[in-house]
């Protein structure tokens, strides 16, 4: 980040121009999650991070937000540029406090957010006064008044390189708006609960020097070229015939959600292959756009004219030999999830010589059955697994990782804790299969699938009527179209 800034300054790009762009991006990110005005409490340090937060507050003020400013230092100690942005906001804001408040906040009847603009890149994670007191107040607002915390670039008290945090008072952010690029410290495992939802504000005047990064943050800007607009002459056979192998007695819903995910992701045709004993139930409940076929032997599916397989949700393990045979011998791309993974766990070596490409989508519990994780990090686990087996891995979790041998690790940025409920993975399996049917690689289908499912979940909460407790997988299905539209047309 420092090298990119220095290169920009060498091209006569001014610091203020970058600050204005960053602050506008932060405000846009806030309004992405909270489209209606509320109260914004800004905690600003004396450096450029504080300036970014003040610019963001000015944009929010002009959009109708109530702004409350708290400076961690006397105004005279702030940088010249930060003072300038403070004066601009002062002229626009109807409420300003020169010094830190006493820690109490009356609040307002609408939502309240906090902008953490105390410390930026290069700051020491071990906090000192008066920053420590300000960080404590931010956490108190979050804990006692249900305020949502937006960290500007990184949470105060978190090291941008290592992800290590101040052991007592690191700011706990619900959203971290990384400026320019996501820093490595934001995606390591121990930082997860301090960083929260990761959003990246790209700056057009900052270009990375690294041409082949080891890690990527999956964002709308980085993914939107993967799914181009369809030609006007398009027809269904161009977008894949998806075969869903899922469901068993008592687990009909898994097959239905996988099917719906594939349909909502743009699959041309979807066929559901289910055990004969549940055929009538599935046929009566399946989306009318799908075809349902009874199966007496999964071995016969090798003869079906299918472009992509989605296998595993709700499948059970009673026919494990037949399923293993299908995983190994099918020549088409296959997404393997749930019971497909549990069956594989006992015969994992067949992944070394499958006839077709395989995308595995385990959650942490399934991953532990596939590989002895020990004390490896999630990133280390993903790399290790893909070095052992020639597959693409979508390692689900609060920061889903997509891995493939000789490709950068890709960290998903969307999603929320409301997704910790049944059916979410079934929809993701179907979405990935639907994207594969449209010609995406396994790696790109996994990255894009994880992003749109996570974003759909967010939209259900911040633009819909759900909350973290009430969010259902079917809510995500209903919002997939909105997520795809945003991905294809990200804010400039």
pLDDT per position as a tens digit, 44-67: 999 999 999 999 999 999 999 999
Across the range 266-278, mean pLDDT stands at 97
% of the chain residues with pLDDT over 90? 87
Asked if residue 189 and residue 249 are part of one domain, the reply reads: no
pLDDT at residue 492 greater than cutoff 90: no
239 versus 490: which is more confidently predicted? 239
Domain assignment of residue 293, yes or no: yes
Where helices occur in 34-106 by DSSP H, the ranges are 48-62, 80-92
Asked if residue 273 and residue 127 are part of one domain, the reply reads: no
**CATH number of the domain enclosing 35:** 3.40.50.10260
Residue reference for tokens 């994207």: 435
**In the prediction, which pLDDT does 103 show?**
45
Q: How many other C-beta atoms can be found within 10 angstroms of the C-beta atom of residue 441?
A: 17
Which among 120, 122, 119 is positioned nearest to 130, based on CA atoms? 119
Asked if residue 263 and residue 204 are part of one domain, the reply reads: no
Rg of the chain (C-alpha set): 24
CB 166 within 8 A of CB 126: yes
**In the prediction, which pLDDT does 417 show?**
95
Indicate left, alpha or beta for 339 from its phi (over 0: left) and psi (-120 to 50: alpha). Answer: alpha
Least confident of 37-41, 99-103, 394-398, 434-438: 99-103
Chain Cα centroid distance, residue 80: 36
Residue 281, H or E segment: helix 279-285
**In the prediction, which pLDDT does 443 show?**
98
Domain assignment of residue 403, yes or no: yes
CB 457 within 8 A of CB 475: yes
Residues in the chain: 492
**CATH number of the domain enclosing 295:** 3.40.1190.20
Asked if residue 242 and residue 177 are part of one domain, the reply reads: no
Q: How many domains does the chain have?
A: 2
Indicate left, alpha or beta for 180 from its phi (over 0: left) and psi (-120 to 50: alpha). Answer: left
Q: How confident is the model at residue 98 (pLDDT cuts 50, 70, 90)?
A: very low
Query: Rounded to whole angstroms, how far apart are CA atoms 144 and 138?
Result: 10
**In the prediction, which pLDDT does 208 show?**
67
Across the range 312-334, mean pLDDT stands at 97
279 versus 109: which is more confidently predicted? 279
Asked if residue 277 and residue 182 are part of one domain, the reply reads: no
Across the range 393-402, mean pLDDT stands at 97
Across the range 114-121, mean pLDDT stands at 96
Asked if residue 86 and residue 194 are part of one domain, the reply reads: yes
The phi, psi pair for 75, rounded to 5°, reads -55, -35
Q: Which residues contact 50 (CB under 8 A, 6 or more apart)?
A: 44, 71, 72, 78, 82, 117, 118
Query: Rounded to whole angstroms, how far apart are CA atoms 476 and 461?
Result: 10
pLDDT at residue 107 greater than cutoff 50: no
CB 340 within 8 A of CB 470: no
306 versus 101: which is more confidently predicted? 306
Residue reference for tokens 């010609």: 439
What domain range includes position 284?
A: 236-488
Tell me the pTM. 0.94
Three-class SS state of 460: helix
Q: How confident is the model at residue 100 (pLDDT cuts 50, 70, 90)?
A: very low
pLDDT at residue 461 greater than cutoff 90: yes
- CA torsion, ordered 377, 383, 389, 394, to nearest 10 deg: 80
**In the prediction, which pLDDT does 5 show?**
85
């Amino acid at each position: 980040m420092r090298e990119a800034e220095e290169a920009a300054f060498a091209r006569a790009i001014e610091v203020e121009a970058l600050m204005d762009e960053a602050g506008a991006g932060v405000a846009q990110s806030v309004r992405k999650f909270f489209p209606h005005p509320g109260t914004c409490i800004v905690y600003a340090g004396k450096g450029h991070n504080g300036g970014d937060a003040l610019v963001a507050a000015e944009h929010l003020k002009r959009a109708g937000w109530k702004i409350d400013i708290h400076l961690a230092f006397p105004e005279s100690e702030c940088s010249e540029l930060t003072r300038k942005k403070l004066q601009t906001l002062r002229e626009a804001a109807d409420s300003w406090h020169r010094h830190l408040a006493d820690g109490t906040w009356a609040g307002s009847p609408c939502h309240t957010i906090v902008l953490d603009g105390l410390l930026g890149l290069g700051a020491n994670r071990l906090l000192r006064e008066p920053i420590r007191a300000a960080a404590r107040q931010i956490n108190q607002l979050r804990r006692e008044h249900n305020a949502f915390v937006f960290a500007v670039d990184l949470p105060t008290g978190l090291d941008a390189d290592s992800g290590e945090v101040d052991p007592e008072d690191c700011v706990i952010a619900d959203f971290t708006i990384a400026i320019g690029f996501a820093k490595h410290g934001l995606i390591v495992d121990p930082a997860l609960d301090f960083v929260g939802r990761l959003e990246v504000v790209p700056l057009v005047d900052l270009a990375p020097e690294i041409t082949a990064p080891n890690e990527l943050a999956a964002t709308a800007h980085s993914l939107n070229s993967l799914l181009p607009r369809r030609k006007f002459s398009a027809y269904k056979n161009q977008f894949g015939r998806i075969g869903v192998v899922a469901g068993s007695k008592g687990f009909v819903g898994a097959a239905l959600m996988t099917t719906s995910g594939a349909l909502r992701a743009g699959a041309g045709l979807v066929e559901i292959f289910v055990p004969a004993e549940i055929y009538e139930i599935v046929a009566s409940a399946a989306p009318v756009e799908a075809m349902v076929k009874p199966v007496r032997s999964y071995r016969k599916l090798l003869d079906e004219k299918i472009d992509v397989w989605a296998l595993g949700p709700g499948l059970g393990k009673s026919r494990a030999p037949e399923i293993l045979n299908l995983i190994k011998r099918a020549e088409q791309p296959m997404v393997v999830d749930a019971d497909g993974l549990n069956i594989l766990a006992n015969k994992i070596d067949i992944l070394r010589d499958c006839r077709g490409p395989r995308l595995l989508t385990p959650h942490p519990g399934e991953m532990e059955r596939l590989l002895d994780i020990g004390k490896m990090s999630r990133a280390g686990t993903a790399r290790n697994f893909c070095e052992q087996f020639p597959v693409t891995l979508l390692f689900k979790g609060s920061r889903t990782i997509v891995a493939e041998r000789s490709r950068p690790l890709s960290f998903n940025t969307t999603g929320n804790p409301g997704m910790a409920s049944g059916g979410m993975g079934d929809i993701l399996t179907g979405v990935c299969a639907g994207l594969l049917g449209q010609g995406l690689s396994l790696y790109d289908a996994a990255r894009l699938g994880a992003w749109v499912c996570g974003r759909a979940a967010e939209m259900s909460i911040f633009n819909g009527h759900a909350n973290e407790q009430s969010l259902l997988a079917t809510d995500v299905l209903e919002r997939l179209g909105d997520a795809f539209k945003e991905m294809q047309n990200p804010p400039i």
